[in-house]
Chains A and B, each alone.
Chain A
Amino acid sequence: RKEVEQDPGPFNVPEGATVAFNCTYSNSASQSFFWYRQDCRKEPKLLMSVYSSGNEDGRFTAQLNRASQYISLLIRDSKLSDSATYLCVVNSLRGKLTFGTGTRLQVTL
């Protein structure tokens, strides 16, 4: 089993749609969690950290379920510019970051 698993997609959604991504992790001792966005042939950029109580940043909402060991990202009112690959990142043992393979989102007109 992979340490961090994501549905690779692609998710094709129309502009204005709401889309949700899930991510599961295997190490129950993981301490911190992040969502990154990666555009084609570019470096990953931090989208948001994920807190136990859940957190929201504009159109983006992240949730963490420690009992089930999954993280989610909800994007509301999708825009064309949201098209990218979304990486689930887990801080595992001794501060090592483990990346999921990413979920590709394509927002269309």
Chain B
Amino acid sequence: GAVVSQHPSWVICKSGTSVKIECRSLDFQATTMFWYRQFPKQSLMLMATSNEGSKATYEQGVEKDKFLINHASLTLSTLTVTSAHPEDSSFYICSVRGWGGSVNTEAFFGQGTRLTVV
């Protein structure tokens, strides 16, 4: 399967600051990457689809100005949580789809970033 590296694995920040999370596809070029968020005891919720060289597509209810996504290369997507607040504390995970980019292939995930805003 695909190898996806996410950094940092955890971060604690003060309310009002911004946090950048990086997601790298290590063994193939990913034109599309996905960002999810998971609150305790809840399912993963898709936040946005990151598209290389173009704007990200955000899911309903996700503020694009708060969660900035940049996908400048085929192997790197970044998610920046701007002006973070305690309610943004969550587990953020990126993923890529399997080889060939078929919509039916499985997803492979980064290690996730546990964000705590104090």
- To the question of whether A and B form a pair in one complex, the answer is yes
Chain A: residues with CB nearer than 8 A to chain B?
A: 4, 8, 31-32, 34, 41-46, 49, 87, 89, 91, 94-97, 99-102
Cross-chain contact of B46 among A43, A96, A101 (Cβ < 8 A): A96
Q: In this complex, which of B42, B93, B109, B111 has the most chain A Cβ atoms within 10 angstroms of its Cβ?
A: B109
- Cα of A31 to Cα of B106 in the assembled complex, Å: 12
What residues on B are CB-neighbors of A94 within 8 Å? 103
Asked if A101 and B106 make an inter-chain contact with CB atoms under 8 angstroms apart, the answer reads no
Query: If A43-B111, A43-B112 touch, does A102 touch B104 (CB 8 Å cutoff)?
Result: no
Asked if B106 and A49 make an inter-chain contact with CB atoms under 8 angstroms apart, the answer reads yes
Q: How large is the interface on B (under 10, 10 to 19, 20 to 34, 35 or more residues)?
A: 20 to 34
**B108 within 8 Å of A by Cβ?**
yes
What residues on A are CB-neighbors of B1 within 8 Å? 46
Cross-chain contact of A101 among B41, B104, B114 (Cβ < 8 A): B41
Residue of B nearest to A31 (CB): B104
**B43 within 8 Å of A by Cβ?**
yes
Asked if B109 and A44 make an inter-chain contact with CB atoms under 8 angstroms apart, the answer reads yes
Least CB distance, A73 to chain B, in whole angstroms: 15
Cross-chain contact of A91 among B6, B103, B111 (Cβ < 8 A): B103
What residues on A are CB-neighbors of B6 within 8 Å? 43
- Cα of A99 to Cα of B103 in the assembled complex, Å: 15
Asked if A32 and B104 make an inter-chain contact with CB atoms under 8 angstroms apart, the answer reads yes
**B107 within 8 Å of A by Cβ?**
yes
Asked if B104 and A42 make an inter-chain contact with CB atoms under 8 angstroms apart, the answer reads no
Least CB distance, A7 to chain B, in whole angstroms: 13
- Cα of A29 to Cα of B105 in the assembled complex, Å: 16
Asked if B42 and A101 make an inter-chain contact with CB atoms under 8 angstroms apart, the answer reads yes
Cross-chain contact of A43 among B43, B104, B109 (Cβ < 8 A): B109
Return the 4 tightest CB-CB contacts between A and B, nearest first: A95-B103, A43-B109, A32-B104, A99-B43
Least CB distance, B34 to chain A, in whole angstroms: 8
Q: Given contacts A31-B104, A32-B105, A91-B103, could you give 18 more A-B pairs where the C-beta distance is less than 8 Å? A: A31-B103, A41-B91, A41-B114, A43-B109, A43-B111, A43-B112, A45-B109, A46-B106, A46-B107, A46-B108, A89-B107, A94-B103, A96-B46, A97-B46, A97-B107, A99-B43, A101-B43, A102-B43
